[in-house]
A = this chain, B = another copy of it.
Amino acid sequence: MTGAGELVSAFIAAIESKDLEQVIGMLTDDVVYDNVPMVAVTGHKGVRQALSAFLDSATAVEWAVSRQTESADGTTVWNERVDRFEIGGRWIEIPVAGVWEVRDGHIALWRDYFDLGTFQRQLEG
């Protein structure tokens, strides 16, 4: 059985591959994806809509994880990342801290903390 940390690493690899079906298959039916400065969405449909918006606009996606910790009980994963998106020929970079809950081998919660202005200024710049 895959550990929670390995599941989150595989999920991030699927995001980088822009493989939305693989991404959705790693989530519980009632998953919550909470982009803290923006909105929280629920369920496969909500995540699909939220992710397709930015995965479609990016020609390449690289999420560089600098640190990741799994809780002793194996249910929670934390990571620090720099999420990079190539959009319109330029790379946009956002420092992110994520917290993830894993249940029955699937991601049940994915909450990302970041500065929305850091993203918006690069998008407009």
Residues of A within 8 A of B (CB): 36-37, 67, 69, 71-72, 76, 78, 80, 95-99, 111, 113-118
Contacts and interface: CB of A to CB of B under 8 A. Distances in A.
Assembly stoichiometry (copies) = 2
A97 B114 CA distance: 9
- Per DSSP, chain A at the interface is strand
9 contacts: A36-B95, A69-B78, A78-B78, A78-B99, A80-B111, A97-B99, A97-B113, A113-B114, A115-B116
B95 A113 contact: yes
B115 A37 contact: yes
A61 B37 CA distance: 22
Contact of A118 (B37, B76, B80, B99): B37
Q: Which of A96, A99, A113, A117 has the most CB of B within 10 A?
A: A113
A80 B95 contact: no
Contact of A67 (B67, B76, B116): B76
A117 B114 CA distance: 11
